[in-house]
């Protein structure tokens, strides 16, 4: 079984930055991801707030980050879905689902990010992937000149709504509160003529027999109920941490996020966290990269102290 | 073999042996990362698998013919017959296992 100084679970911006910093600190690094490198940013059409690069496509930035990691001979990338991390003191065991793959390392950085949250209301399972989507840039094209509903009012909802409004016949935004995204983006969306916004609504049900036909919701202010007919729905109601496989490590808070200190260290020696899956206020590419750098630096200090 | 093809080339190649068709869009991030994964899948199978990449936006009739509505969409064909379809970015082991079942 291969032995590493550092295993990084998750190859998003946090994980890839940690890999680079880990390699530069003379560590032998294994970076694992169940999908391709990139994490959530591959679903982002335009990133406009990563310092120094202006506007960049998310997948292109992910590619550039990955190519940067491959400049180091001491970084290995492998496709694996981690099912468990076992803390055996100075050695950490990482168990994967594929072919019972197992790896060991002196330190581990948890950088598995988040995934979109679901509403869990009637009709959602029935139309999942067939009328209801979580990725406008993947599935938006099939709704050209059709009626679409976006659920949510945060940054993702508003940014993706602006993208969709350029494609669809009509766009209805239904949100539990008001729009809470950056004011500039909200103003841009409100000014678009195809767009109707219903704030302060409880989403009750997705309606339809064999295909999605509409969304039923109720005002939290007046109690009035309404159904908007549509061909497709995009949900952007927040994120949930992808940390189920770390449950037994005892490093998660009640919401499933990895609890870390200002050095990205969890309460288990040698286990660190970075990126969207840790407790923090601002989940952005740039803060994920910063987390990764700090976590790898601390991991290198930890590993050197063991030797 | 991994090759980007137009509709005519696709129809010529899709009926021969085991073919993995990747319907993608140049504007789609998950498609770009799936391309990354498929390069590794190609290394694994060599001549046993032909991977044909079809630009969704440039080949509308072909995508309609195959009932592809979103991207990325992977369709595994054996001598032209559809064996399996996967939508969205997929894990490399999932693609590899799917192909192995039909070799």
pTM of the model: 0.83
Cα(A92)–Cα(A4) distance, integer angstroms: 10
Annotated active-site residue B63? The verdict is no
Domain carrying residue A84? 3-116+239-306
The predicted model gives B18-29 an average pLDDT of: 91
Are A230 and A274 in the same domain? no
Instruction: Give the residue carrying structure tokens 């309609």.
Output: B64
Number of domains within chain A: 2
Shared domain check, A273 and A189: no
B67: nearest CA partner in chain A: A142
The whole-angstrom distance between B17's CA and the closest CA on chain A is 27
Q: Which one of A35, A80, A127 makes the best mutation probe of the B interface by having the most chain B beta carbons within 10 Å?
A: A35
Question: Taking 90 as the threshold, does the pLDDT of residue B71 lie above it?
Answer: no
CA distance, residue A59 to nearest chain B CA (Å): 5
Same domain, yes or no, for A92 and A160? no
Q: List the structure tokens of A165.
A: 């409004």
Pair A243, A297 in one domain: yes
CA–CA separation, A213 and A151 (whole Å): 15
Q: Which of B31, B41, B62, B75 is catalytic?
A: B31
Mutate: best of B22, B29, B36, B38, partner A, most A CBs <10 A: B29
Residues near B31 by Cβ (< 8 Å), separated by ≥ 6? A59, A138, B22, B24, B25, B71, B72
Among candidate residues A235, A260, A280, the one where a domain is terminated: A235
Domain end call among A203, A235, A267: A235
Highest mean pLDDT out of A96-105, A174-183, A262-271: A262-271
Which domain CATH number covers A231? 3.50.50.60
Residues A163, A135: Cα–Cα separation, whole Å: 11
| A96-114 per-position pLDDT tens digit | 998 779 999 999 999 999 9
Q: ipTM surpassing 0.90, yes or no?
A: no
Q: Where are the domains of chain B?
A: 2-100
A226 and A139 in a common domain? yes
- Give the largest CA-CA distance in chain A: 67
Residue B86 bears catalytic tag: no
Q: Which of A235, A258, A276 is the last residue of a domain?
A: A235
Rg (alpha carbons) of chain A, rounded to whole number: 21
Assigned CATH topology for domain B2-100: Glutaredoxin (3.40.30)
Mean pLDDT value across chain A:
94
């Amino acid at each position: 079984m291969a032995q590493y100084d550092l295993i990084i679970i998750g190859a998003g911006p946090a994980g890839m930055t940690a890999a680079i910093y880990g390699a530069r600190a003379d560590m032998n690094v294994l970076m694992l991801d169940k999908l391709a490198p990139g994490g959530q940013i591959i679903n982002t059409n335009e990133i406009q707030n990563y310092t120094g690069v202006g506007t960049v496509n998310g997948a292109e930035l992910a590619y550039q980050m990955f190519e940067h990691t491959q400049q180091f001979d001491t970084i290995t990338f492998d496709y694996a879905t981690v099912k468990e991390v076992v803390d055996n003191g100075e050695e950490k065991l990482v168990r994967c689902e594929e072919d019972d793959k197992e790896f060991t390392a002196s330190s581990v950085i948890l950088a598995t990010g988040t995934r979109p949250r679901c509403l869990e209301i009637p009709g959602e399972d029935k139309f999942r992937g067939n009328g209801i989507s979580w990725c406008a840039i993947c599935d938006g094209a099939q709704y050209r000149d059709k009626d679409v509903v976006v659920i949510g009012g945060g940054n993702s909802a508003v940014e993706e709504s602006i993208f969709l409004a350029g494609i669809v016949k009509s766009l209805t935004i239904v949100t539990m509160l008001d729009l809470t995204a950056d004011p500039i983006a909200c103003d841009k969306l409100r000014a678009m003529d195809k767009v109707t916004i219903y704030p302060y609504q409880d989403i009750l049900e997705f309606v339809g027999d064999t295909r999605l036909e509409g969304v039923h919701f109720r005002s939290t202010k007046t109690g009035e109920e309404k159904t908007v007919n549509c061909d497709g729905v995009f949900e952007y109601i927040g994120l949930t941490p992808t940390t189920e496989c770390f449950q037994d490590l005892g490093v998660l808070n009640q919401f499933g996020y990895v609890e870390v200190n200002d050095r990205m260290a969890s309460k288990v020696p040698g286990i660190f966290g970075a990126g969207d899956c840790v407790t923090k206020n601002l989940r952005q590419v740039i803060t994920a990269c910063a987390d990764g750098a700090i976590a790898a630096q601390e991991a290198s200090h930890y590993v050197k102290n063991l030797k | 073999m991994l090759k980007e093809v137009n509709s005519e080339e696709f129809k010529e190649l899709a009926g021969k042996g085991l073919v993995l068709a990747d319907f993608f869009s140049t504007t789609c991030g998950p498609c770009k990362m799936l391309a990354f994964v498929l390069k590794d899948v190609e290394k694994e199978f060599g001549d046993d698998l032909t991977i044909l990449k079809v630009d969704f936006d440039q080949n509308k009739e072909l995508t309609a013919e195959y009932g592809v509505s979103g991207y990325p969409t992977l369709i595994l064909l054996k001598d032209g017959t559809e064996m399996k379809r996967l939508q969205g970015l997929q894990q490399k082991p999932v693609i590899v296992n799917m192909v192995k079942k039909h070799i």
